[in-house]
Amino acid sequence: MLRSRGAVPVVLGVEDEAAAQDAWRLEGVERHLAPPRGPATLAYAPGLRGLLGAAKLDLLHLHGIWQYPVKAAGDWARRTGKLLVVSPHGMLDPWITSRNAWKKHLARLLWEDAALNQASLFHALTQSEAADIERQQPATPRVVIPNAAPDAAAAPLSPRGPVALYLGRIHEKKNLGALIAGWLEAHDRLPADASLIIAGWGDEDGIAALEQALPQANAAGVEFVGTAFGSQKAALFDLARFLVLPSHSEGLPMAILEGWSAGVPSLMSANCNLPEGFTTGAALDCGTSTESIASTLVEGFALAGDDWKAMSRAAQDLACGVFSREAVASRWEDAYAGLL
């Protein structure tokens, strides 16, 4: 998107085991990765300082916080006097900051606060995140720009079968335990052939907790299919009547935007921070409790075909409108140009 507006992006980061697999995403973009040292959770890479110094940047945009690249970015801004933009990507959400709070407090004392105070602008994905940022950094200007949705697929010609899809990370904040419990509670009130497909990835503990809940749920049409990317993900969207995301905490979930682009409306919690889905009719609020998830599943699958198609059209209208690549690129051009 930035290149389409005449900018020259340079990507700097810390090398990890996924770097080679992800290289295709940055095809044609200058990219430099520093080798890490020590625990992976810190993303400590002393070579990052040299890469930043050699890059001859006009502006540095930091994605994510709580790791060593924050310190490297803050030091660069202090040393050069140049512009630093910070995108926390949901990492200042109270649900997140309350987890391992002592570690985050220590990080604040050692490097985080000093580095973030160098920022010229904070970027929030949503109005909710902007409020989180304001509580932490009240003196720094903020801008709200969402992620961009993929280009919209052809509109579904008819309602899909009774399939609900969860797509994303297998993590406690995603509230999968309540989703499965809600599905089991609603099962007798759903179509006889209704199914819940869970696709995603996670750490060993998260996967183990999910698999522990599956034996009872398999008989009720719940299936875990593992990771899904590319054509596999597209095939799942082609099957799904709804994408379900009853999360406790989100920045801005790309799975919802991808679903909307494919014409798949959402059953999601307000914590997904996409109120446009509710106001336009592209989503139903499923809450986070077992009971609210169950009742919303029943409500969603009971919709008449024309009502579902109206939700599907509303979803694609959002993906082609305020969340389109063109709209988001224009807002980033304005934000960067205003700083420079």
pLDDT tens for residues 19-44?
Answer: 888 888 888 889 999 999 988 888 88
Q: Does 126 lie in the same domain as 12?
A: yes
For residue 156, being part of any structural domain is answered with no
Q: Does 282 lie in the same domain as 333?
A: no
pLDDT for res 205: 77
Provide mean pLDDT across the span 329-333: 94
pLDDT tier, 100 (very low <50, low <70, confident <90, very high otherwise): low
For residue 330, being part of any structural domain is answered with yes
150 sits in the region (left: phi over 0; alpha: psi -120 to 50; else beta) called beta
Q: Does 302 lie in the same domain as 331?
A: no
| pTM of the complete model beyond 0.85 | no
Burial class (CB in 10 A: 0-12, 13-18, 19+), 234: middle
- The tokens of 232 are what? 């596999």
pLDDT for res 152: 84
For residue 112, being part of any structural domain is answered with yes
For residue 266, being part of any structural domain is answered with yes
**152 alpha carbon, distance to own chain's centre:** 18
CATH number at residue 212: 3.40.50.2000
pLDDT for res 97: 65
pLDDT tier, 196 (very low <50, low <70, confident <90, very high otherwise): very high
For residue 154, being part of any structural domain is answered with no
Length of the chain: 340
Position 334 pLDDT exceeds 80 = yes
Q: Does 75 lie in the same domain as 7?
A: yes
Indicate the number of domains in the chain. Answer: 2
pLDDT tier, 254 (very low <50, low <70, confident <90, very high otherwise): very high
Q: Does 133 lie in the same domain as 28?
A: yes
Q: Does 190 lie in the same domain as 137?
A: no
Q: Which domain holds residue 239?
A: 163-320
Integer CA distances (angstroms), 259 to 67, 245, 263, 267, 303, in order: 31, 11, 6, 11, 18
Position 216 pLDDT exceeds 80 = no
* Mean pLDDT over each residue of the chain, to the nearest integer: 89
Q: Does 281 lie in the same domain as 226?
A: yes
Q: Does 142 lie in the same domain as 50?
A: yes
DSSP label at residue 223 = E
pLDDT for res 305: 92
pLDDT tier, 182 (very low <50, low <70, confident <90, very high otherwise): very high
Secondary structure element (H or E) that encloses residue 73, with its range: helix 68-80
Q: Does 176 lie in the same domain as 134?
A: no
Q: Does 207 lie in the same domain as 84?
A: no
Residue 42, classed as helix, strand or coil, is helix
